[in-house]
Structure 1
Amino acid sequence: MYRYDEYDHAFVAERVAQFRDQVKRRLAGEITEDEFKPLRLQNGLYLQLHAYMLRIAIPYGTLSSKQMRTLAHIARRYDRGYGHFTTRQNLQFNWIKLEDAPDALADLAKAEMHAIQTSGNCIRNTTADHWAGVAIDEIEDPRIWCEIIRQWSTVHPEFSFLPRKFKIAVTGSPNDRAAVRVHDIGLRMLRDENGEPGFEVIVGGGLGRTPMIGKTIRPFLPKQHLLSYLEAILRVYNRYGRRDNIYKARIKILVHEIGAEEMRRQVEEEWEGLRDGALDLPADVVAGIGRHFAPPRYQPQPTIATETERLRFENRDFALWLRSNVVAHRQPGHAIVNLSLKPEGGPPGDASAAQMDAVADLADAYSCGEIRVTHEQNLVLPHVAVADLPAVWRGLTLIGFATPNLGLVSDIIACPGLDYCALANARAIPVAQRISQHFADLARQHDIGELKIKISGCINACGHHHVGHIGILGVDKNGTEFYQITLGGHAGDDVSLGSILGPAVPADQVVEAIDSLVRTYLAVRQDGERFLDTYRRVGNTPFKERLYATA
């Protein structure tokens, strides 16, 4: 993984010192909250319903065990003993005191972490496939390119005050695990007719108030031109993006209003003045960054381990965990282990300080000291020997992270909602907890199969409800919480936005509504279809008829 150089260390240290002085002046009353707000947001500090929230950047979702222990330390010392992993592969602390924020950032800096550009109208944390570097279908490790984007975009003088926040996602595989078509810019690696890798460039995707699927404006971009082409896109957006209306400020609105062809023309015209210039990436520079992401020195391992196979046949819980949470690795004798942060009845994405420390210990013992954060609010140990799977499973079971439910009905994405967020209309976490408890029977979950439920507490869609197989959106009706249900969303290769099923349902009927949808699916599915496949075949009608007949 990437390590800070002298410039990184100096830059982050200077930012901490600046913010410490800004907080001191705010606490002394020398600057007002209005004057302080843009300063704190530049350092990832939000003022939420009950307290300040600090959002920590985890670039492309990659953590070392030392960094995970630092997050545990921050949780203990400055928060209430836990943190919340988000859909941008970041971590949020929801109970930070203003006077403690500079010390927390200083402690983060010691572990080569910060909160810069986790807020504001700038280029946010670039996200990637959480199996990057180890997936068997990967063309190239996307984290190399994410790191290049990070270095280019950090406090970029031209793009630090964009019309609106800006999000980029990169996948190095033909199978999209980074939701690239619902980002402002999505980059999907592919090969040209000569076998050379490059990028499909997708622009104008996004969720929120006006969900849209991104449009391909360049089918193939050679790798060396990545930064110059991104610069061209951002310049066009910065020039024409709406600044008079916050609801129409995202690049997706610009692409929608002028059309994908005109957007392509504008970008290509801008790019002509940038290509083959200072932003082109020399091969030696890319190779130098790539060395930070070289695979670990794996020890030779058997592809079939006796203890693992024995336990698979003897222990049903272990067998379910292998089936649900463990996937193939590109290195023979190894596996990718997915940690579920969705225990029965637990807040999705939360981890206590003790759990973070335990994950760091497991990473050191069994995963070359490396951890990943997923955009579905789970964690990954990317380098586990097949022979070590029983030990890892036992360790995860002790801390509650071994629930075998990846991709199943209880593996729910949920934003913090009205429990924390000042923008929310309704609660999200309690709804996720109740649904999780209702479907607690793991045998039933596995019979239902892949079913992704995503919950947002408001139209900003931090829970990605638009691309949930079942999406749940909290809405306010005269001070009462209701929930609008959508069906058929998907964030992968065959991306789709969910369709509204009908009138929103009251909070006390949400669980019964989801149960009705699941029962309808089980009654009409054919030949082991996934929920999404069944929905695409039969449409809304059978689900709508059953739900509102019993509502």
Structure 2
Amino acid sequence: MTTTTKRAPRAEGQWAVDGTAPLNPNEVFKAADDGLHVRKRIEEIYAKQGFDSIPSDDLHGRMRWWGLYTQRRQGIDGSRTAELTPDQLSDRYFMMRVRLDGGALSTEQIRTLAGISRDFARGTADITDRQNLQFHWITVESVPEIWRRLEDAGMQTIEACGDTPRVILGSPVAGISADEIIDPTPVIAEIVERFIGDESLSNLPRKFKSAITGHPSLDVVHEINDISLVGVVHPELGAGYDLWAGGGLSVAPRLAQRLGAFVTAEQAADVWHAEIRLFRDYGYRRLRNRARLKFLLADWGPQRFREVLENEYLGYRLADGPEPGPSSLPADHIGVHPQKDGLNYVGFAPTVGRVSEDILEALADAADSVGARRIRFTPHQKLLVLDVPPERTDELIASFEKLGLRANPSPFRRATLACTGIEYCKLAFVETKSTAAAVIDTLEQRLADVSLDRPISLHINGCPNSCARIQTADIGLKGQLQKNPDGTEEFAFQVHLGGGLASVDREDAGLGRTVRGLKVTSANMPDYVERVTRSYLAGRKPDETFADWAHRADDEELR
């Protein structure tokens, strides 16, 4: 009789279980030297000796801890994206990401960003869907001066990228909205002050994304973050937060789950600290593609996750609490809205987040001219101007209209997102920003005869990583290189339909569906979006959303 020996489960690289020995090259370079330490070398060596003095582990690794990625070398098309090494794909210039927790800025800070764009970034500036601002064409020689200007103005790039606690998304209307349940500003400030730049939290399995809102519009895409605190009112404890964990998209999308725990404002920073330490110690580190928190939560389940969080890291049990109500207002805050102090805030839509040195400078001037000195970026690539006197609101809107920033945009200009794309990103297969802008212009003309009672969101991504959240859009387009039946290759977009996060139109978040064999090219994208939009309008039931229609429609209606 033969016996079989049961193979022991393979170690996942969890520090609390398997020890801290590094199990892949990324873990090796992180163990060798903390990413935060690279700043000194940038200032003292690389900025003086130039690009060629930067070793690979710093160039393609640790410099991310300070918001720096090499950008894509110009002239390399998408057919070579998957073939070339990082060194072959990289230009001698950097994308620099400015960390803007809560997206909050003053007009003077906007001017600082405009000056950096003008002097060091060839006029580039993009508002991201993480409330950051990104520059391109940055040389390593210019980095110390950029840091000096940013820090003098109260901004920073620390941990804007890398396996770190990334920027904290915050409600763009925090502290001003008359509808607000609780103001998250103090919690965001406390987390940044206590924990950002802490070396005990700067070697995580992968990135850690946070979102905090107290607004009933659910305006921080809480379902796709590693940790989210969502404003609710407890029947006994008053206003506080509902705790969510384990969301994330990319090639293995998973929506966050409620832990059923109520967090008071006083507990919030400590709860955040507890969860990120749990991720540091129990997150999977063996395989990079399984290292996000969502995989741990999927394996453990929310009950065990909460128990470990409370017993091992907090040291006390959190109260059970209510879930957030359905969204009562649009989450993008576009248009004119009253503040609780009698002033207005006004939401504007740049085209897919793309701005420039000239636009930044002019918008600061226009806001200042009406006495409004606070700006906020949103998780939807939009911007708000706060504290606008009601009698000067029309004046501000007219000034911004000249800059291409609209407070009453068309439905597609309002609801289209695009990632960086092949213009600068080393992972991309296709162009996104200019493609999206051209599609918007075309659709505004072709669909001028139809009335959309709600925007149809269109998200365009240059690769499978879903920086533009394709699985949670009404129409999500994922760029890829596809092989045709005759053996030739072409760039095309895979289509995802009917996704969406909790909004005024739907109570529950959901991922989109794909239609087998459906691909669209950049050239026929306007035709397809027009066709599927008209199909929806012709076939929907009364008050039916695009997402609901897309999930019940047959494949032919969606082609």
Does the alignment reach a TM-score above 0.5? yes
Match of 1:402 among 399, 403, 406: 406
Secondary structure, aligned partner of 2:339: coil
Match of 1:483 among 489, 493, 496: 493
Letter in structure 2 aligned against 1:361: D
Q: Would you say 1:176 and 2:218 are equivalent positions?
A: yes
Compared with structure 1, are the counterparts of its residues 25 and 249 closer, same or farther at alpha carbon in structure 2 (3 Å cutoff)?
farther
Compared with structure 1, are the counterparts of its residues 96 and 370 closer, same or farther at alpha carbon in structure 2 (3 Å cutoff)?
same
1:430 equivalent in structure 2: 434
Match of 1:349 among 353, 365, 387: 353
1:496 equivalent in structure 2: 510
Q: Is the 8 A contact 1:169 1:183 kept in 2?
A: yes
Q: Would you say 1:116 and 2:158 are equivalent positions?
A: yes
Compared with structure 1, are the counterparts of its residues 504 and 172 closer, same or farther at alpha carbon in structure 2 (3 Å cutoff)?
same
1:295 equivalent in structure 2: none
CA distance in 2, matches of 1:28, 1:489: 42
498-507 or 32-41, larger mean C-alpha shift = 32-41
CA distance in 2, matches of 1:340, 1:446: 20
2:252 equivalent in structure 1: 210
**Cα offset for 1:36?**
4.2
Secondary structure, aligned partner of 1:147: helix
Q: Is the 8 A contact 2:176 2:340 kept in 1?
A: yes
**Cα offset for 1:66?**
0.7
Spell out the pairing of 1:97-496 with structure 2 (5 A cutoff). 97-194=139-236, 196-273=238-315, 325-331=334-340, 333-342=342-351, 348-366=352-370, 368-402=372-406, 404-405=408-409, 408=412, 411-441=415-445, 443-444=448-449, 446-447=451-452, 449-478=454-483, 479-493=489-503, 494-496=508-510
CA distance in 1, matches of 2:451, 2:343: 25
Spell out the pairing of 1:86-105 with structure 2 (5 A cutoff). 86-105=128-147
CA distance in 1, matches of 2:344, 2:173: 11
Q: Is the 8 A contact 1:448 1:522 kept in 2?
A: no
**Cα offset for 1:402?**
2.2
464-473 or 520-529, larger mean C-alpha shift = 520-529
**Cα offset for 1:471?**
0.9
CA distance in 2, matches of 1:118, 1:141: 24
String of CA shifts for 1:148-195, please: whole Å, max 9, x gaps.
121232122321000000000011123301111110001101111125
Match of 1:505 among 503, 519, 535: 519
Spell out the pairing of 1:56-75 with structure 2 (5 A cutoff). 56-75=98-117
**Cα offset for 1:446?**
4.9
Structure 1 unpaired stretches of 5+: 1-13, 277-323, 343-347
Spell out the pairing of 1:32-71 with structure 2 (5 A cutoff). 32-50=55-73, 51-71=93-113
Match of 1:545 among 535, 541, 556: 556
2:532 equivalent in structure 1: 517
Compared with structure 1, are the counterparts of its residues 368 and 244 closer, same or farther at alpha carbon in structure 2 (3 Å cutoff)?
same
Q: Is the 8 A contact 1:169 1:187 kept in 2?
A: yes
Q: Is the 8 A contact 2:339 2:345 kept in 1?
A: no
CA distance in 1, matches of 2:553, 2:410: 26
**Cα offset for 1:135?**
2.2
49-58 or 331-340, larger mean C-alpha shift = 331-340
Q: Would you say 1:531 and 2:546 are equivalent positions?
A: yes
Secondary structure, aligned partner of 1:255: helix
Q: Is the 8 A contact 1:181 1:205 kept in 2?
A: yes
**Cα offset for 1:198?**
1.6
Spell out the pairing of 1:8-19 with structure 2 (5 A cutoff). 19=42
CA distance in 1, matches of 2:217, 2:382: 19
2:23 equivalent in structure 1: none
CA distance in 2, matches of 1:547, 1:240: 42
511-520 or 431-440, larger mean C-alpha shift = 431-440
Compared with structure 1, are the counterparts of its residues 15 and 105 closer, same or farther at alpha carbon in structure 2 (3 Å cutoff)?
farther
CA distance in 1, matches of 2:341, 2:267: 34
CA distance in 1, matches of 2:358, 2:58: 38
Letter in structure 1 aligned against 2:509: V
Compared with structure 1, are the counterparts of its residues 210 and 445 closer, same or farther at alpha carbon in structure 2 (3 Å cutoff)?
farther
**Cα offset for 1:28?**
7.8
Letter in structure 2 aligned against 1:238: R
Compared with structure 1, are the counterparts of its residues 25 and 362 closer, same or farther at alpha carbon in structure 2 (3 Å cutoff)?
closer
CA distance in 2, matches of 1:239, 1:485: 37
368-377 or 508-517, larger mean C-alpha shift = 508-517
Secondary structure, aligned partner of 1:503: strand
Match of 1:27 among 41, 44, 50: 50
String of CA shifts for 1:281-314, please: whole Å, max 9, x gaps.
xxxxxxxxxxxxxxxxxxxxxxxxxxxxxxxxxx
CA distance in 2, matches of 1:264, 1:332: 39
Letter in structure 2 aligned against 1:464: R
How many residues get paired?
480
Compared with structure 1, are the counterparts of its residues 547 and 29 closer, same or farther at alpha carbon in structure 2 (3 Å cutoff)?
closer
**Cα offset for 1:82?**
2.5
RMSD: 2.5
Q: Is the 8 A contact 1:485 1:502 kept in 2?
A: no
Q: Is the 8 A contact 1:225 1:275 kept in 2?
A: no
Secondary structure, aligned partner of 2:345: strand
Compared with structure 1, are the counterparts of its residues 147 and 489 closer, same or farther at alpha carbon in structure 2 (3 Å cutoff)?
same
Letter in structure 2 aligned against 1:368: A
More helix by share: 1
Secondary structure, aligned partner of 1:224: coil
CA distance in 1, matches of 2:281, 2:334: 45
CA distance in 2, matches of 1:428, 1:64: 30
CA distance in 2, matches of 1:214, 1:108: 34
**Cα offset for 1:108?**
1.4
Secondary structure, aligned partner of 1:42: helix
**Cα offset for 1:245?**
0.6
CA distance in 1, matches of 2:213, 2:124: 30
Structure 2 unpaired stretches of 5+: 1-36, 74-92, 319-332, 484-488
1:80 equivalent in structure 2: 122
CA distance in 1, matches of 2:472, 2:51: 45
1:305 equivalent in structure 2: none
CA distance in 1, matches of 2:492, 2:131: 28
126-135 or 267-276, larger mean C-alpha shift = 267-276
CA distance in 2, matches of 1:206, 1:258: 16
How high is the sequence identity, in percent, across the aligned residues?
A: 28
Secondary structure, aligned partner of 1:92: strand
Q: Is the 8 A contact 2:65 2:159 kept in 1?
A: yes
**Cα offset for 1:462?**
0.8
2:22 equivalent in structure 1: none
**Cα offset for 1:377?**
0.8
Q: Is the 8 A contact 2:410 2:444 kept in 1?
A: no
CA distance in 1, matches of 2:51, 2:465: 34
**Cα offset for 1:366?**
2.7
CA distance in 2, matches of 1:475, 1:504: 13
